């Protein structure tokens, strides 16, 4: 008979003891009338299994329950088939028509304003701009996300998006030095600059690096205000077919190297893309201490170091 607190398995970075397994089995047996989603949220509450923002980590928990079912350890309620609402295609409006050329130096075009797109109308216009002018178009970000708009004297200059980090990138994970379980537990503290767009009619030298420097100094507080925790590291991918990442270098991001173009795959699915240049930017000095945490009970929503430290967010002078 194994000890109750002995480790039984690790799922998505979360250790599960034999005692917890027995409690999960009892919960599934006792609440068989609940839907899978309701049951999963109940088990998350019992395990105190939370995301970085403090909500139930039900997607990882459901994955664990399915694994237990496949091993014959429990039997989940029948899956309820629900139709997913179809997303409406983005229709371009006059609000995002090309503007007059904006050419000059930073100090000549007026103060640069960087604001979050947060209201439904602001988000809709932001999505439209991105889909219309970015070479990758717009895709709905998964999980945590933050949109910024860039303007000067009420003239729109561009848009930038931050969202969840890539699940596994060899050169990044080696540079951080974390193991697979640490990565699964703490990946939310890495934020990806998923899209960056300066509008085609805007030709202002150093604007891109200026924006990256400004956001690097404020995103910690913005992220904490919206999502309840401070990120520790920024990352981004640059396609060398189109760009070299000069603005990231100028904004003190670190170039780690080229990705392989291969990603994590699921059964019967393949994932291939062109290799990208990978850049990272720590937001705090002790970012590795945050990303190395192994104890699920130490998931700080506000790290003890406080907001991002200025010396790590210093912008290249322009």
Quick check: 226 and 146 in contact, CB under 8 A?
yes
Query: Residue 306: is its pLDDT beyond 50?
Result: no
pLDDT of residue 32: 79
Sign of the dihedral defined by the CA atoms of residues 104, 108, 114, 120, in that order: negative
Most confident stretch, 10-19, 44-53, 269-278, 282-291? 282-291
Give the tokens for residue 95: 């609000």
Of 154, 159, 190, the closest CA to residue 172 belongs to 190
Q: 266: how many CB neighbours lie within 10 A of its CB?
A: 7
DSSP 8-state assignment for residue 221? H
Query: Residue 314: is its pLDDT beyond 70?
Result: no
Q: What is the pLDDT of residues 259-298, one digit of tens each?
A: 988 755 555 555 567 899 999 999 999 999 999 987 644 4
Query: Residue 309: is its pLDDT beyond 60?
Result: no
Report the percentage of the chain scoring pLDDT > 70.
87
- pLDDT-based confidence at residue 303 (cuts at 50, 70, 90): very low
CATH of the domain spanning 94-312: 3.40.630.30
Query: Residue 311: is its pLDDT beyond 50?
Result: no
pLDDT of residue 81: 74
The residue that leads in pLDDT, 227 or 314, is 227
pLDDT of residue 33: 83
The residue that leads in pLDDT, 79 or 106, is 106
Q: How many Å from the N-terminal Cα to the C-terminal Cα in the chain?
A: 67
Give the E-state strand segments of the chain in sequence order: 7-11, 14-17, 102-104, 112-116, 145-152, 155-164, 190-198, 202-204, 233-238, 254-258, 277-282
pLDDT of residue 11: 84
| Sequence spans of domains, the chain | 7-70, 94-312
């Amino acid at each position: 008979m194994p000890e109750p607190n002995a480790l039984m398995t690790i799922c998505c970075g979360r250790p599960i003891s034999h005692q917890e397994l027995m409690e999960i089995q009892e919960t599934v047996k006792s609440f068989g009338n609940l839907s899978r989603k309701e049951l999963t949220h109940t088990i998350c509450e019992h395990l105190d299994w939370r995301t970085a923002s403090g909500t139930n980590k039900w997607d990882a928990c459901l994955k664990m329950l399915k694994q237990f079912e496949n091993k014959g350890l429990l039997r989940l309620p029948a899956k309820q088939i629900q139709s997913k609402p179809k997303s409406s295609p983005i229709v371009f409006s006059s609000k995002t028509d090309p503007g007059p050329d904006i050419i000059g130096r930073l100090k000549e075009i007026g103060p640069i304003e960087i604001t979050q797109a947060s209201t439904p109308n602001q988000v809709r216009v932001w999505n439209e701009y991105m889909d219309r002018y970015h070479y990758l178009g717009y895709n709905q970000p998964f999980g945590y996300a933050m949109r910024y708009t860039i303007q000067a004297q009420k003239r729109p200059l561009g848009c930038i998006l931050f969202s969840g980090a890539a699940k596994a990138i060899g050169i990044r994970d080696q540079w951080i030095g974390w193991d697979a379980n640490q990565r699964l537990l703490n990946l939310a503290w890495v934020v990806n600059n998923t899209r960056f767009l300066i509008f085609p009619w805007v030709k202002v030298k150093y604007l891109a690096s200026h924006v990256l420097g400004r956001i690097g100094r404020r995103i910690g507080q913005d992220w904490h205000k919206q999502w309840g925790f401070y990120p520790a590291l920024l990352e981004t991918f640059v396609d060398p077919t189109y760009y070299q990442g000069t603005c990231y270098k100028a904004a003190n991001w670190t170039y780690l190297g080229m990705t392989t173009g291969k990603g994590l795959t699921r059964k019967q699915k393949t994932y291939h893309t062109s290799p990208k240049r990978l850049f990272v930017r720590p937001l705090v000095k002790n970012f590795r201490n945050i990303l190395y945490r192994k104890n699920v009970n130490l998931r700080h929503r506000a790290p003890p170091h406080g907001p991002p430290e200025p010396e790590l967010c210093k912008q290249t002078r322009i």
